[in-house]
Chains A and B, each alone.
Chain A
Amino acid sequence: MSLTRAVSLPFGSRSSSPSDNEDEPVLLSPNLSPTKPPKSPNSRAAALQRRRLRTTSFTENVQDVIHKGKRTIYTAGRPPWYDTKGELKEAFVIGICGGSASGKTTVARKIIEALDIQWVSILSMDSFYKILSEEQHAQANASEYNFDHPDAFDVDLLVQTLKRLKSGKQVEVPMYNFTSHSREKQTKRLYGANVVIFEGILAFCDERLIELCDMKVFVDTDPDIRLARRLSRDITDRGRDLDSVLKQYMKFVKPSYDHCIAPTMRHADIIVPRGGENVVAVTLIVQHVHSQLLQRGFKLRTKLAQDDHFDSDELPKNLHILKETDQIQGIHALIRSKETTRDDFIFYSQRLMRLLIEDVMSMLPFSTVTVNTPQGFVYQGKRLDVKQIFGVSIMRAGEVMEPALCEVCKDVRIGKILIQTNMETHEPELHYLRLPKGIRGHHVILMDPTVATGAAAIMAIRVLLDHDVPEENIYLVSLIMAQQGVHSVGYAFPKVKICTTAVDKILDDNFHIIPGIGNFGDRYFGTEP
C-alpha cells in the first residue's frame, strides 16, 4: 500500500530511501534533465535535490553547456509556454494509474527519459493523503486504516492543485508526513511544467481528475508480481514483518484494487501491461505526447519581431517615458557612445536608473494623509499605499538596477529570473527563477535595462502572472526599449505599466536596438567579447 512506498528521487531507485522521512512525493525539478540521472541516488547532490522546496533550479547538466568561440552558452531553459498575446498554453497532463507496486513510477520515468524535454513535473497522489485524526492515526499504526480507498485522499485539493498546475500556475504541494499522518507546515512549490505527469493508485477515481488528464495510462501488472514486490519492499526495506504486510494486503490493498482501482481501467486511453519493461507502449505514448507538444509549440521571438501591426507609431497607453530634459539627453549621449569608459558608463547609467526608479515610485498608489509638524500646524501630504514592494530583475543585466531600487525603497524584496536566448531557435528560455515568498497580489517592479523584442520581458511577466501577481501591479522598468518591444509587451499585457527613459525606433535583423546602447550587461560588467 502506498503508506510504505518510498519514492523520493525521480531517477534514483526506490530502495535507496529506507527511512520514513523520505516518503515524500516525487517532485521532479522541471529542468533537471532526464537524460542524465545522478550517478548515485545517495550522492550529496541527490540529497540536496530532495530537500529543495522549490522546484526550479540551476541546471547541472554538463551537456547543456556549449562553447561557441570564446563564449559559453547554457542551454536547456524553458521555451515559451504562452502565445504572442501572453496567454497561456495549457500543460499536457498525463495521468498514470495502476495498482500498488505496479510500476507507475517506472513508467513515468521511462516516459520522461524518452520524451527528452525539460520542464516536466510529477505530481504524486501520495502528497494528498488526508490528515488523520488521533483515532485513525492509531488505526494506521495497527494496520487497520485503509489507505487504498478514495476517502483517504483530499481529492478536492488534488483537483484544485492539478487544475492550477495544468494552467501553468505556481502551486503549493502539501508534504505528507507518513509517521504522524499529517501535513508538514512547509509545502513544496511546483512551477513551470510543459508536461505534468500525475500518478497514483486512484488517479482515475474522480471524474474531475479524469477530465484534467489529456492522456490516461493504466499500468496493468500481474497481481502476483505486485504482491511479490510489495513483500520485498516492505520487509526488506521497511523492516516490517510478513504477517502485518499480508494482513494489510488481504484486508485493504487487494479489495481496494478490485473494487476501486481495477474498474477505473475503462477510463484509460492506453493500458500498459508489465509496467516499465514495456518499451513498445512507452514509445507509443512518447510519440503521441511529442506530436501534441509540437501542435502547441511556436517560434515566439521571430514572430514577435515580424508582426506587422506593431509598426504603428502610436505607442500603447500603458507606456510611460521619463520627461526628456537636457540632463537626460546628456546622460543618454554618454552611455550610448561606444567611446565611453566603463567607469563613466556605470556612473551615468546608475544616475539614470535612479531617476527612472524615482519616477516609477510616483506611479504607485498613494493616499492622502495629514501629519503634525514641529511648527504646530497640520500638514496635508501623501503616503505610499503599498506595504511591501517587490523587485524582480531579469538576469544578468536587470541586476544592475537593483542598487537604484534599494536606494529608493529601503525594505524592498528582490527576486531574480534568468532568461536567455536559445542560440538555435532564437527563442527566450527560462533557466532560473527565485521569487520572494508572499509575492502574490503585491506590486512588482520588473527590471531589465534594455528591451528589444520584448520576448524576455513577456516571459518574465508571464512568470509573475503565474505566481498570482495582478497584471496591473506589474511595472516593467527599463532604460532603453525598442518600439517593437513596447508594442509586443503592450499588446500582450495592456495593464502592465511600462516605464522607460527612451524608445528607439529600429530593431535590426539580429534583434539589436538601433541606435541602442550595445549589450548593456557586457558593457556594465566588462564581459564584451
Chain B
Amino acid sequence: MEPDLISNHQSTSELCKEGDVGGDLQSPTHINPLTISVDMKSDHQVVAICPNNFPNHVTVIRATDQMKELQTYIRDVDTTRSDFRFCADRLIRMVVEEALSSLPYEGVEVTTPSGAKYQGKKFMKGGTCGVSIMRSGEAMETGLRDCCRSIRIGKILIQTDTETQEAKVFYAKFPADITNRKVLLLYPIMSSGNSVAMAIEVLKQHGVKVADVLLVSLFCTPFGLEHVTKEYPNLKILTTEIHPITPNHFGQKYFGTE
C-alpha cells in the first residue's frame, strides 16, 4: 500500500527512463539503464551517487562508519525485524537531530552554576512542526518526539493508484497555524518523488511556503531528488544516502506487514 513500494524492477526501469529525460545530472549520477540491468544480473555493486550534483538545498549527512553500518543493516535482506527496527530508529534519531540543527537559532548568554557566562544558542520555539507522510513517515515520529517532547505533528495519507501510478491524497490534518511554521516533512524513502511532490502540494494549499519545508528522509534516489528539486527549487532536503535503488521494503519491515 506504500506509495513508493513499486516492485524494484518497475522502479528501476522507471528511474532509468526518467533519469535520462532529466539531463541535468552529471556523469556520476547519470544512470544508463543498460549498465544497471547488467550490474544487477551479475550481482555487482551499484555505485553510490555523488551528492555534489544537487543544489545546495540537498544535504547528505556525513557518512560515518557507524552510519554506514546502520544503512547496511537496513539494506540486508537477512536482518531480523528486531535489529531492523533498532537500527532504523538509531538512524532516524540521527537524521532528526541533524534536521533540528538546521532550524533557526539565535545567540544567547547564560550564567552557569559557577557564576561564569556562557555564549550559546537558543532554539526559536513555537515556529516548527512535523508532518509525516503515512505510513512509513510515521516511523520517524518517535525519533522526532524523543528530541522535541511537545512538538506538533500533522499527517498526510497519500496512496498511489496501482493502475495509473498517480498519487492521491486521502487524508490530511495539520496544526491550525501551520502557515506560520517551519515544517519538517517526514518521509524515510523517496524513490519516485511522487508522494513528496503531492504532500508539498497539500502543504501549499494550507498556506505553507515551500522554502519553509525541510524534507527529512533516510534514502533518496537521484531521480526522485531530480524530480522534486526541479519542481520545488526552494525545498530543503536532508538524507543519509543517495542511491539509485532505495530499500523500498522499509515501511513493511518496520511495521511487520511483509
- What residues make up the interface of A, taking CB atoms closer than 8 Å to B? 325-330, 332-334, 336-339, 347, 351, 354-355, 358-359, 361-362, 364, 366, 369-384, 407-408, 410, 506, 508, 512-519, 523
Indicate if B64 sits at the interface (CB-CB under 8 A).
yes
Stretch of B41-49, B50-58, B175-183, B199-207 with 4 or more beta carbons under 8 angstroms from chain A: B41-49
* 5 extra A-B contacts, CB within 8 A, seeds A327-B123, A364-B65, A514-B116: A326-B103, A330-B123, A351-B147, A506-B116, A516-B116
> Is the CB–CB distance between B245 and A377 below 8 Å?
yes
The majority secondary structure among interface residues of chain A is mixed
Q: A362 and B114: CB pair below 8 A?
A: no
In the complex, chain B residues 82-100 whose Cβ is within 8 Å of any chain A Cβ: 86, 90, 93-94, 97-98, 100
Sample of 15 A–B contacts (CB below 8 Å): A325-B101, A327-B105, A327-B123, A337-B112, A338-B113, A355-B94, A371-B78, A374-B77, A375-B249, A377-B43, A377-B245, A382-B69, A514-B114, A516-B112, A516-B113
Asked if A355 and B45 sit within 8 Å, CB to CB, the answer is: no
Per the bound structure, the CA–CA distance linking A338 and B67 in Å amounts to: 35
User: Which residues does B use to contact A, with CB under 8 Å?
Assistant: 8, 39-40, 43-46, 64-69, 71-72, 75-78, 86, 90, 93-94, 97-98, 100-103, 105, 108, 110-114, 116-118, 120-123, 146-147, 149, 245-249
Rounded to whole angstroms, the CA-CA distance of A384 and B101 in the bound complex is: 27
CB distance from B80 to the nearest CB of A (A): 12
How far in angstroms is the closest Cβ of chain B from A509? 12
Q: Which of B45, B120, B248 contacts A379 (CB 8 A)?
A: B45
Please state if B100 and A332 are interface contacts (CB–CB under 8 Å). no
Measured in the bound complex, the distance between the Cα atoms of B44 and A514 in whole Å is 55
Q: Given the complex, which residues of A lie within 8 Å of B75, measured CB to CB? A: 371, 373, 379, 381
Min CB–CB distance B16 → chain A (angstroms): 14
Cα A369 to Cα B72 with chains together (Å): 9
In the complex, the number of residue pairs spanning A and B with C-beta atoms less than 8 Å apart equals 153
Q: Are B245 and A366 in contact (CB under 8 A)?
A: no
Partner of B110, one of A336, A351, A410, A512: A336
| CB-based nearest B residue for A325 | B101
Which of A332, A334, A383, A515 has the most chain B CB atoms inside 10 A of its CB? A515
For B67, what are the chain A residues with a Cβ–Cβ distance below 8 Å?
362
- Determine whether the beta carbon of A377 is less than 8 Å from that of B77: no
Residues of A within 8 A of B66 (CB): 358, 361-362, 364, 366, 382, 384
A153-B196 Cα distance, complex, nearest whole Å: 78
Assuming the contacts A377-B39, A383-B69, A384-B66, asked whether A370 and B77 have C-beta atoms less than 8 A apart, the reply is: no
On whether A410 and B8 interact (CB within 8 A), knowing A329-B120, A515-B112, A518-B112, the answer reads: no
Query: Measured between alpha carbons, how far is A410 from B108 in the docked complex, in Å?
Result: 37
Task: Report the nearest A residue to B253, measured CB to CB.
Answer: A374
Q: Which residues of B contact A379 (CB under 8 A)?
A: 45, 72, 75-76
Instruction: From the candidates B76, B86, B149, name the one contacting A373 in the complex (CB within 8 A).
Output: B76
Q: Which residue in B90, B114, B121 is a CB contact (below 8 Å) of A408?
A: B90
- CB-CB under 8 A from A518, the residues of chain B are 112-114
A-chain residues with CB within 8 Å of residue B94 when the two chains form the complex: 355, 358
Residue among B8, B64, B90, B114 making CB contact with A512, cutoff 8 Å: B114
Instruction: Tell me whether B114 and A347 are in contact (CB under 8 A).
Output: no
Given contacts A326-B121, A362-B66, A515-B118, are A375 and B245 in contact (CB under 8 A)? Answer: yes
Contact A372 B77 (CB under 8 A): yes
Residues B247 and A374 in contact, CB atoms below 8 Å apart: yes
Q: Is the CB–CB distance between B76 and A330 below 8 Å?
A: no
Tell me, in angstroms, the Cα distance from A351 to B100 when the chains sit together. 12
- Tell me how far the C-beta of A384 lies from the nearest C-beta in chain B, rounded to whole angstroms: 6
Pick from B69, B245, B249: contact of A381, CB under 8 Å: B69
User: Quick check: B116 and A515 within 8 Å, CB to CB?
Assistant: yes
Closest B residue to A506 using CB positions: B116
- In the complex formed, the residue of B with least CB distance to A332 is B120
What's the least CB distance linking A498 to chain B, in Å?
18
Q: Can you name the residue of chain A whose Cβ is closest to the Cβ of B42?
A: A378
Question: What is the CB-to-nearest-CB distance from A370 to chain B, in angstroms, rounded to a whole number?
Answer: 7
* Chain B residues within an 8 Å CB radius of A354: 93
Q: Are B90 and A336 in contact (CB under 8 A)?
A: no
B65: nearest residue on chain A (CB-CB)? A366
User: A366, B110: Cβ atoms under 8 Å?
Assistant: no
From A326, A375, A514, contact of B248 by CB (8 A):
A375
The reply to whether B100 and A327 contact each other, CB–CB distance below 8 Å, is: yes
Chain A residues lying within 8 Å of B123, measured Cβ to Cβ, are 327, 330
The answer for the CA separation of A379 and B97 in the assembled complex, in Å, is 26
| Least CB distance, B175 to chain A, in whole angstroms | 22
In the bound complex, CA of A366 to CA of B64 (Å):
10
In the assembled complex, the CB of A54 is this many whole angstroms from the nearest CB of chain B, namely: 33
Partner of B72, one of A374, A383, A517: A383
Q: Which residues of B contact A336 (CB under 8 A)?
A: 110, 112, 118, 120
Contacts of B118 in A (CB 8 A): 332-333, 336-337, 515
Known: A326-B121, A336-B118, A338-B112. A374 touches B65 (CB 8 A): no
Residue ID in chain A nearest B62 by CB atoms: A323
The smallest beta-carbon distance between A451 and chain B, in angstroms, is 15
B114, A328: Cβ atoms closer than 8 Å: no
For A364, what are the chain B residues with a Cβ–Cβ distance below 8 Å? 65-66
On whether A329 and B121 interact (CB within 8 A), knowing A355-B97, A384-B69, the answer reads yes
A362 to B71, CA, bound (A): 13
Which chain B residues lie closer than 8 Å to A378 at the CB level? 43-45
Residue of B nearest to A344 (CB): B149
Contact of B86 among A372, A410, A519 (CB under 8 A): A410
Contact yes or no, A333 B100, CB < 8 A: no
From residue B241, how far is it (CB to closest CB) to chain A in Å?
10
Nearest Cβ distance between residue B117 and chain A, in whole angstroms? 6
B245:A516 contact, CB within 8 angstroms: no
Q: Which residues of B contact A373 (CB under 8 A)?
A: 75-77, 245, 247
| Min CB gap B249→A, angstroms | 5
The answer to whether A516 touches B101 (Cβ under 8 A) is: no
Q: Tell me the smallest distance from the CB of A394 to a CB of chain B, in Å.
A: 20
Find chain B residues with CB under 8 A from A382 CB: 65-66, 68-69, 72
Closest-CB distance, A193 to chain B (whole angstroms): 38
Q: How far is the CB of B104 from chain A (nearest CB, A)?
A: 8
Q: Are B64 and A362 in contact (CB under 8 A)?
A: yes
Contacts of A329 in B (CB 8 A): 105, 120-121
Please tell me if the beta carbons of B111 and A377 are within 8 angstroms of each other in the complex. Answer: no
Question: Are A337 and B97 interface neighbours, CB within 8 A?
Answer: no
A362-B67, A370-B45 known; A377 and B97 CB under 8 Å?
Answer: no
Given known A326-B101, A333-B122, A512-B114, contact A376–B40 (CB-CB < 8 A): yes
Residues of B with C-beta under 8 A to A508: 114
Indicate whether A381 sits within 8 Å of B72 (C-beta atoms), given known contacts A326-B105, A358-B94, A374-B77. yes
Which A-chain residue is minimally distant from B245 (CB atoms)? A375
- Shortest C-beta distance, B173 to chain A (Å), equals 27
A372 & B76 in contact (Cβ 8 Å cutoff): yes
Tell whether, in the assembled complex, residue A371 and residue B77 are in contact, meaning their CB atoms are under 8 Å apart.
Answer: yes
A-chain residues with CB within 8 Å of residue B120 when the two chains form the complex = 329-330, 332-334, 336
- Bound: A135/B140 CA distance, A: 71
Residue in A336, A366, A375 with the greatest tally of chain B CB atoms within 10 Å: A375
